Amino acid sequence: MHVARTFELNGIEMYCEVHGDGEPLVLLHGGTGAGSDWRYVFDAPLEGYRVIVPDLRGHGRSTNPSGTLTFRQVAGDVLALMDRLGVERFKAIGMSMGAKTLLHVATAQPARVDAMVLVSATPYFPPRARELMARSTADTLSDGEWAMLRQKHVHGDEQIRALYAQMRAFKDSYDDMNFTPPYLSTISARTLIVHGDGDPLYPVNLAVEMYTAIPRAALWVVPNGGHVPVFGPMAPRFRDTALEFLRAG
């Protein structure tokens, strides 16, 4: 089964593709990415899963008329999408933005997430990340980067510029990503935390903080890994490890 639909929910149009049949598995992409990015990680059908791949608010084919973006908003969109699809309980994998979204999902409605894989997540934004966010601008993109982004985001260059402005605005956000250990301890999902030890945004000690606070957590630190170390040569190993973890419960 392969279905592509656009849902009207929470004041946006949310594009979503659904592949296969079986247990629901939600894949959430990273910031300025799109659901299509997952084809570089999972290059074959995921047998036994009903794979749900949305374009998050303002990304890809989805819209965001409000012009604002928070991870709490995006989590609300994901939960509303699950309601529309009739999915009560699910497993999930999120990378960067998608992983931070899953922290909100798993704390807002813990009973709905059975197991999840968090790639390059963070409980809060450290100073180094805020410094890099402050430099986020579409004006420095190369022609090649523009071409790649235009393939993903179908609503024109204004959509891309808006995404970069929203990423920049996170430098001044302190209440959206603010997961204390007691708050993280409310997560009931089995959780695999995947983190590169050379992540330029989120030092590996933040992954250890999450691992220590989340009750049913496992930690995989990727040696010499940067931010979202699951592409290229790492994709097969990540795919095998993530799927083995999700199926273990």
pLDDT given at position 16: 98
Task: Output the pTM of the full model.
Answer: 0.98
In angstroms, the CA 197 to CA 201 distance is 11
Tell me which CATH homologous superfamily contains domain 2-124+178-247. Answer: Alpha/Beta hydrolase fold, catalytic domain (3.40.50.1820)
DSSP symbol at 55: P
The phi, psi pair for 209, rounded to 5°, reads -60, -45
pLDDT in tens, the chain (249 residues): 789 999 999 999 999 999 999 999 999 999 999 999 999 999 889 999 999 999 999 999 999 999 999 999 999 999 999 999 999 999 999 999 999 999 999 999 999 999 999 999 999 999 999 999 999 999 999 999 999 999 999 999 999 999 999 999 999 999 999 999 999 999 999 999 999 999 999 999 999 999 999 999 999 999 999 999 999 999 999 999 999 999 997
Give the whole-angstrom CA distance, residue 135 versus residue 171: 10
pLDDT, residue 2, reads 85
Alpha carbon of 196 to those of 51, 107, 140, 223: distances in Å?
26, 24, 26, 6
**Helix, strand or coil, per DSSP, at residue 189:** coil
Q: What is the pLDDT of residue 246?
A: 97
Q: Given strand 217-222, what is the order of strands in its sheet? A: 2-9, 12-19, 49-54, 23-28, 90-95, 113-119, 190-196, 217-222
